[in-house]
Chains A and B, each alone.
Chain A
């Protein structure tokens, strides 16, 4: 039994079918990269996994336990599934440290001092401890995004969803964010990432899924999907990336 099983999931917005009969199984410690053209449903899929969006049919299971359908305690579920957004979404009225300790103290009931120590340890590792008492608007985009990742990690999630976490960043800031993800992958964190960074996907992913019109069009190890794609659409997508100089 796989860790995360996305089983024949369909999602409509009114008449528009964004995800159609989508199935994917993710093992523990696996890093999955979702790639594909804009609008193919990557973000929607990630948001369905922690139920920010409701799926229309199918089911999603984690450790064999169905997390879709009525009566699932969403607040508890989301403690264990971290998500990081493209736009960081740090709370602008709180310092870096306050952002990090909010959920552990208010949701898990962790003591303030313990939470702060833990947050400082994380911030130390991403070399941002000197910014702990600054407000987010004083940080660069890359720094903000790293804090956003730390904020998610503070809850010790079992699964981490990352939605194009570098696409709002300048190229020179991208690498510092990707370093963290690389560390997490090496540490065994299970992650599903939507990304446009093919070089990074090739390096960090155990498996790459190319999405096309809400379906897995082609999947496999990075070397195969990126190096020797079988599907016509995948080839076209990669060709267009190459033409744009992004591969």
Chain B
């Protein structure tokens, strides 16, 4: 069956010619031209918007320097992007004029990268400009309602103090959740017939509290337990009820994360551990859980962020957290700017964690690449 596996045969010169024909030089003229056009439009839109919005801000009594500054920055950025697009287009032209194929390829490559970069900037600038318009249309209704700077300044102290409650609820329940969820997850992964009763219980718990909206759990526990007259349980603070409710809800979610991590550990690892004589418990303790931990840290952190935000739900049972405090201020002033303060606080504490999650996932990806 010689030469049957190769379908076409040609002489060497023919093949070399085919090879070279396929190695054409790409100049990316279309992409660069389109980018240039778009960059020009963006520049016009940004400049016109900056002038209009700045003028409006001045008419509202904002000092002309502060009003003009964002517009100037945006316009400079747009001009810079226009320059980038123009240089991409010039590179592309130069690429098609250059007779040296390698130089032409390098120019084409640069044209392509610069075009993509410019396109990304164009997208960002357009979105920011759109946002700016949203703030000023209808006589700046949006910025007046949400961003009354004087009110934000006055309310920040009170709101910040109330935010302490959120942090307390968050940190205590986070610790409880991590431990409680591990218990549930281990119960769910108990092997064999002997493990069945606990397994079923754990499944039922998970189904119940994942199905139940967190706000309802908080409501039922916060208002229900005090009515039961049970010793101890009926006279806790609202903060404690919030912690119990969040632990129950998030315990169910988090145990699923643990379980996915535990079951994601390849069965060959379990086989290796069991073959060395380690019991199920010891296999879990020394091999499976440590391996699972690596994979679940990013989703756990995401859960953490989500928990932090859900601490605002405790407002419903009357705990004076930051959101509740802000609502009181908002009701007294007919303006939501104090709530904006809370929003900013939540975002500010979340961002660092979001970045950590990104870092961890990136590290994992790198390790996967190195391994593969």
A72 to B, closest residue via Cβ: B105
Contact B26 A183 (CB under 8 A): no
Could you tell me the distance in whole angstroms from the C-beta of A207 to the nearest C-beta in chain B? 18
Give the CA-CA distance A189 to B5 in the complex, in Å: 9
Quick check: is A158 within 8 A (CB to CB) of the other chain?
yes
Contact B1 A65 (CB under 8 A): no
Contact A62 B105 (CB under 8 A): no
Interface bits A63-97 vs B (CB < 8 Å: 1, else 0) = 11111011111001101100000000000000000
Could you tell me the distance in whole angstroms from the C-beta of B371 to the nearest C-beta in chain A? 12
Contact B6 A189 (CB under 8 A): yes
Pick from A63, A153, A156: contact of B16, CB under 8 Å: A63
Interface residues of B in 55-107 (CB under 8 A from A): 101-102, 104-107
Pick from B3, B23, B102, B107: contact of A188, CB under 8 Å: B3
Contact B5 A187 (CB under 8 A): yes
Known: A28-B12, A158-B19. A70 touches B106 (CB 8 A): yes
Could you tell me the distance in whole angstroms from the C-beta of A182 to the nearest C-beta in chain B? 9
Known: A70-B105, A70-B110, A71-B106. A183 touches B19 (CB 8 A): no
Could you tell me the distance in whole angstroms from the C-beta of B101 to the nearest C-beta in chain A? 8
**What residues of chain B lie closer than 8 Å to A158, measured between beta carbons?**
15, 19
**What residues of chain A lie closer than 8 Å to B54, measured between beta carbons?**
none
Quick check: is B7 within 8 A (CB to CB) of the other chain?
yes
For chain B, the bracket of interface size reads 20 to 34
Could you tell me the distance in whole angstroms from the C-beta of B111 to the nearest C-beta in chain A? 9
Give the CA-CA distance A144 to B105 in the complex, in Å: 38
Could you tell me the distance in whole angstroms from the C-beta of A10 to the nearest C-beta in chain B? 19
Contact A66 B5 (CB under 8 A): no
Quick check: is B25 within 8 A (CB to CB) of the other chain?
yes
**What residues of chain B lie closer than 8 Å to A125, measured between beta carbons?**
1, 4-5
Contact A28 B15 (CB under 8 A): yes
Could you tell me the distance in whole angstroms from the C-beta of B23 to the nearest C-beta in chain A? 5
Could you tell me the distance in whole angstroms from the C-beta of A80 to the nearest C-beta in chain B? 7
**What residues of chain A lie closer than 8 Å to B7, measured between beta carbons?**
118, 156
Quick check: is B251 within 8 A (CB to CB) of the other chain?
no
Give the CA-CA distance A64 to B101 in the complex, in Å: 12
**What residues of chain A lie closer than 8 Å to B2, measured between beta carbons?**
183, 186-187
Quick check: is B355 within 8 A (CB to CB) of the other chain?
no
Quick check: is B109 within 8 A (CB to CB) of the other chain?
yes
Contact A183 B12 (CB under 8 A): no
- Report the interface size for chain A: residues with CB under 8 A from the other chain: 29
Contact B26 A71 (CB under 8 A): yes
Could you tell me the distance in whole angstroms from the C-beta of B69 to the nearest C-beta in chain A? 39
Contact B3 A62 (CB under 8 A): no
Could you tell me the distance in whole angstroms from the C-beta of B29 to the nearest C-beta in chain A? 14
**What residues of chain A lie closer than 8 Å to B1, measured between beta carbons?**
125, 183
Contact A183 B5 (CB under 8 A): yes
Quick check: is B154 within 8 A (CB to CB) of the other chain?
no
Pick from B12, B23, B24, B102: contact of A69, CB under 8 Å: B102
**What residues of chain B lie closer than 8 Å to A156, measured between beta carbons?**
6-8
Contact A71 B104 (CB under 8 A): yes
A149 to B, closest residue via Cβ: B5
Quick check: is B9 within 8 A (CB to CB) of the other chain?
yes
Pick from A63, A71, A180, A183: contact of B105, CB under 8 Å: A71
Pick from B4, B15, B20, B109: contact of A70, CB under 8 Å: B109
A73 to B, closest residue via Cβ: B26
**What residues of chain B lie closer than 8 Å to A76, measured between beta carbons?**
22-23
Give the CA-CA distance A65 to B9 in the complex, in Å: 21
Pick from A28, A63, A73, A153: contact of B5, CB under 8 Å: A153
Contact B5 A122 (CB under 8 A): yes
Known: A71-B26, A158-B19, A187-B3. A66 touches B102 (CB 8 A): yes
Contact A184 B109 (CB under 8 A): no
Could you tell me the distance in whole angstroms from the C-beta of B97 to the nearest C-beta in chain A? 15
Known: A28-B15, A80-B22, A158-B15. A69 touches B105 (CB 8 A): yes
Could you tell me the distance in whole angstroms from the C-beta of B6 to the nearest C-beta in chain A? 4
Quick check: is B108 within 8 A (CB to CB) of the other chain?
yes
Known: A122-B5, A125-B5. A65 touches B23 (CB 8 A): yes
**What residues of chain B lie closer than 8 Å to A122, measured between beta carbons?**
5
**What residues of chain B lie closer than 8 Å to A71, measured between beta carbons?**
25-26, 102, 104-110
**What residues of chain B lie closer than 8 Å to A186, measured between beta carbons?**
2-3
**What residues of chain A lie closer than 8 Å to B110, measured between beta carbons?**
70-71
**What residues of chain A lie closer than 8 Å to B15, measured between beta carbons?**
28, 63, 158
B4 to A, closest residue via Cβ: A125
A residues bordering B, Cβ < 8 Å?
A: 28, 62-67, 69-73, 76-77, 79-80, 118, 122, 125, 153, 156, 158, 180, 183-184, 186-189
Pairs across A and B, CB under 8 Å, 6 listed = A70-B109, A71-B25, A71-B106, A71-B108, A80-B19, A125-B1
**Known pairs A28-B12, A76-B22, A189-B6. 10 more at Cβ < 8 A?**
A63-B20, A65-B19, A65-B101, A70-B110, A79-B22, A153-B6, A183-B1, A187-B3, A187-B4, A188-B3
List the 8 shortest-distance A-B pairs measured between CB atoms, nearest first.
Answer: A71-B105, A71-B109, A187-B3, A70-B109, A186-B2, A187-B6, A63-B16, A70-B106
